[in-house]
A = this chain, B = another copy of it.
């Protein structure tokens, strides 16, 4: 055998299949991002494929959404653990986290809308680990007195990341303005003084 662990056989076959599968997922993010109520037909058309084919890859609409959510969780978790382990001060870590998670949040902003109504429970369940890591970071900031303690870490982290998603979902999500706005705003609401907040984002524009 000429392979080294991964399946090389059917190379072109399964590769083109995975291509369409990935294309469906990618385009589903765009389409659902514009209209969370878009149907499988809309997604299929946008992916240059027939509705029947989409059902070939994802037996039901829920499967598609679930896969999308799992993707998002994976990406966000990767960034979050890395930032959490960097040993930087909590506020600086937060700035880096937002900067790196911003494109991801923008791409997956649709999950915010999908979070209520029909798929809410499924998405909420998948998002558990992310919530924990987020709360850890905020807790660390509160313990070292760089974040305010007017709210418990669990809630404060939820509100803060809610704001980031809200801005990512709003009109100003394009360009760097959105990222700056989200970073400064979330820092302020975490209790970081304005001067310090602006200094921090100045470092990473």
Contacts and interface: CB of A to CB of B under 8 A. Distances in A.
Interface string A149-167: 0110001001100110011
Interface of A: 35-37, 113, 116-118, 148, 150-151, 155, 158-159, 162-163, 166-167, 170, 172, 181, 184-185, 188-191, 193-194, 198
A159 B188 contact: no
A63 B113 CA distance: 23
A42 B109 CA distance: 29
A4 to B, nearest CB: 48
A116 B36 contact: yes
B167 A185 contact: no
A117 B185 CA distance: 27
